[in-house]
Amino acid sequence: MKLLITGGAGFIGSNFIRYILNKYPDYKIVNLDLLTYAGNLENLRDVENNPNYKFIKGDIADKNLANDLAKDADIIVNFAAESHVDRSILDSAAFIHTNILGTHNLLEAARNNGLKRFHHISTDEVYGHLGPNDPAFNEKTPYAPRSPYSASKAAADHLVMAYFHTYNLPVTISNCSNNYGPYQFPEKLHGLFITNLLEGKKVPVYGDGRQVRDWLFVSDHCEAIDLIIHKGKIGETYCVGGNCEKPNLEITQKILELLGKGEEMIEYVKDRPGHDRRYAMNFAKIKSELGWEPRTNFDEGMRKTVEWYKNNEDWWKTIKSGEYLKYYEKQYKER
């Protein structure tokens, strides 16, 4: 089996590549990644010499490149995206380019070359947000994105389904909840808070810190994608959740506890504009149809994540210098 994985130098994509190379020693992987600020070949240092793995630097929106790579692939798994809500609030142009135009370009490449499958990685954020007593999102929840990021992901999902209905392209989509774990870029909640504390800095909690996310450990997500690309039904969407709804303050307190720090390290800062209050995923469909459910409980996932950042200081210290700092200056200046 030949997989064209896009965005494989990012957080979830790099975890997925490592997972697939370990589980299927006869599979061949091509990783197409533009190496934006979030793409990092250090994430894949341990597999770069694997004969079944090849890296290509490039843009998923490059027509000729995508078409050439699709010629030699059975399946495309599309992780490539601009993925951070706060950045989409500062400047959404790259989100439109990659998440919408890039996905469209890959769909064309898959169609022109008769691929066996196009699997698209999406998010629970396309469904909008929930009140405290609302039932969790499921595959039938109407789309209601509220940030430039989630709107661009929703547009991509619609294109993917349009290619199924219009051209019979064999597609599947997974909409997952917030992931956490090793190699997450230190701008998202876990990576930022853990590394700030390791540097002796405070952690910026937005607003009242009571926003709720449904946390999914990244290796559980990889297992779900593996099942969907092998056994999922063509033309279907699968909601993937962590069975782990937690307010941001509880995540913060857990990180403080694991690092032996006190609540004085919390700094309440101005809220994110349009901040979605709660996400939660009902994963009954993938559980009943494909037998998947999350395996990593909260304590275990948090412990493994904190340990990983403690043991990989060079990785995040390199990132948290240079360009990265400019983003933070801009973010707080413009709020």
- For the annotated catalytic residues, the residue numbers are 124-125, 149
Among residues 9, 29, 110, 171, the one that binds ligand NAD under rule CB under 6 A: 9
Minimum distance of ligand NAD from residue 240's CB (angstroms)? 9
Query: Residue 182 touches which of ligand TYD, ligand NAD, none (CB < 5 to 8 A by kind)?
Result: none
- Tell me the residue type at 190: H
Minimum distance of ligand TYD from residue 121's CB (angstroms)? 14
Smaller CB separation from ligand NAD, 75 or 176: 176
61 binds ligand NAD (CB under 6 A): yes
Query: Residue 223 touches which of ligand TYD, ligand NAD, none (CB < 5 to 8 A by kind)?
Result: none
Length of the chain as a residue count = 335
User: What are the residues whose beta carbons fall under 8 Å from the beta carbon of 103, sequence distance 6 or more?
Assistant: 60, 78, 120, 156, 159, 160
Minimum distance of ligand TYD from residue 205's CB (angstroms)? 5
Minimum distance of ligand TYD from residue 120's CB (angstroms)? 17
Among residues 3, 5, 13, 290, the one that binds ligand NAD under rule CB under 6 A: 13
33 binds ligand NAD (CB under 6 A): yes
Q: Tokens 């909008």 correspond to what residue?
A: 128
Q: Tokens 């962590």 correspond to what residue?
A: 242
80 binds ligand NAD (CB under 6 A): yes
109 binds ligand NAD (CB under 6 A): no
Number of Cβ within a 10 Å radius of residue 101: 17
Helix (H) / strand (E) containing 112: helix 103-112
182 binds ligand NAD (CB under 6 A): no
Minimum distance of ligand TYD from residue 203's CB (angstroms)? 7
Query: Residue 192 touches which of ligand TYD, ligand NAD, none (CB < 5 to 8 A by kind)?
Result: ligand TYD
List Cβ<8 Å contacts ≥24 apart for 314-321.
Answer: 315/40, 315/42, 315/183, 316/186, 316/191, 316/195, 318/42, 319/40, 319/185, 319/186, 320/186, 320/195, 320/199
**Counting beta carbons within 10 angstroms of the beta carbon of residue 133, is it exposed (0 to 12), middle (13 to 18) or buried (19 or more)?**
exposed
In angstroms, the CA 259 to CA 306 distance is 8
Chain centre distance of CA 210: 22
* Residue 135: strand, helix, or coil: coil
User: What are the residues whose beta carbons fall under 8 Å from the beta carbon of 321, sequence distance 6 or more?
Assistant: none
Minimum distance of ligand TYD from residue 229's CB (angstroms)? 24
In angstroms, the CA 85 to CA 187 distance is 10
Helix (H) / strand (E) containing 268: strand 266-269
Among residues 102, 181, 232, 301, the one that binds ligand NAD under rule CB under 6 A: 102
Query: Residue 136 touches which of ligand NAD, ligand TYD, none (CB < 5 to 8 A by kind)?
Result: none
Among residues 1, 2, 19, 36, the one that binds ligand NAD under rule CB under 6 A: 36
Smaller CB separation from ligand NAD, 58 or 265: 58
**Residues near ligand TYD, by CB under 6 A:** 85, 178, 188-189, 192, 204-206, 211, 213, 248, 272
* Interface residue list for ligand NAD (CB under 6 A): 6-7, 9-13, 32-36, 38-39, 59-61, 79-83, 98, 102, 121, 123, 153, 176, 178-179, 185
